[in-house]
Amino acid sequence: MDGMDPVERRRVPRVAVDDGLECRLEVRSRIRLVDISLTGALLAGDAALPVGTRAQLRAGVGPAPFAPEVEVSRQADRQGRETNPALGAVFVGMDERSRRSLEDFLRKASE
């Protein structure tokens, strides 16, 4: 807007916010679990996330809920595979129920 429009369409006025105000925008995105271990996972999705990004992963790896907090640790090279970006992620937080679910899943998968 150039400030020259005499017709204001907003119902309530807006105010500028100081640069020091921090906020978050939580976004949901579908990703594919490529592989998983006790310490992390390789994820593929539509969007690349910067290294250091933290997120809540929700996956069905067993009968119990699995919802660890992950941190993107690297952009993975997936030459010869699908074109979706791959992200290496480490588990940085996990409740006991999620840990048991993951351990059960990994044990059954290795049998």
**What is the pLDDT tens value at each position of the chain, 111 positions in all?**
455 656 778 788 888 888 888 877 777 888 889 999 999 999 998 877 889 999 999 988 878 889 999 999 998 766 655 567 789 999 999 999 999 999 999 999 998
Question: Is residue 23, in this structure, part of any structural domain at all?
Answer: no
Question: Is residue 22, in this structure, part of any structural domain at all?
Answer: no
DSSP 59: B
Domain that holds residue 82: 31-110
Gap between the Cα atoms of 73 and 32, Å rounded: 17
**Residue 38: which CATH number?**
2.40.10.220
pTM for the model stands at: 0.72
Question: Is residue 104, in this structure, part of any structural domain at all?
Answer: yes
Question: Is residue 8, in this structure, part of any structural domain at all?
Answer: no
Question: Is residue 9, in this structure, part of any structural domain at all?
Answer: no
Decide: 39 and 91 in contact? Cβ < 8 Å: yes
Q: In this predicted structure, what is the pLDDT of residue 37?
A: 95
Count up the domains in the chain and report the number. 1
Question: Is residue 7, in this structure, part of any structural domain at all?
Answer: no
Gap between the Cα atoms of 40 and 45, Å rounded: 16
Question: Is residue 11, in this structure, part of any structural domain at all?
Answer: no
